Amino acid sequence: MPLFGIAGSGLKGYLKSYIDPTPIMLPFNIIGDFTRTMALAVRLFGNMMSGDMILVILLTISPLIFPVLMSILGLLTGMVQAYIFSILATVYIAAATRTREK
């Protein structure tokens, strides 16, 4: 996001957006940039880990039927998560590159 923000509005314009609307907002804007990236990473990790954990639990309960169904469901949820991840990344990049008119 910072790279796209700098490319879109220049280094000075991008850094100026951190103190918008007041310099008091500087730490909050910096924390906001890091938490967006971490939120995407934690969300993706949690969703992928939960699918694997459910598959392992069902494999121990019923080793023949459920793992095949859960693998198919895992593929479906993986595609949905990849779509959501790319949409959220696009929204965050668009927010970093938008120009603020005064």
Domain tally for the chain?
1
pLDDT of residue 99: 61
Q: Which domain holds residue 89?
A: 2-97
DSSP state, 50?
H
Tens of pLDDT, residue by residue over 38-75, are: 888 888 888 778 877 877 787 788 777 777 777 788 78
- Reported for 11-18, long-range contacts at CB under 8 A and 24+ positions apart, including other chains, are 13/99, 14/96, 17/100
Flag whether 32 is in a domain. yes
pLDDT of residue 58: 76
Flag whether 23 is in a domain. yes
Flag whether 26 is in a domain. yes
pLDDT at 16 over 70: yes
pLDDT at 100 over 60: no
Q: Give the span between the Cα atoms of 31 and 52, in whole angstroms.
A: 31
Amino acid sitting at position 25: M
Flag whether 102 is in a domain. no
pLDDT of residue 101: 53
User: Whole-structure pTM over 0.75, yes or no?
Assistant: no
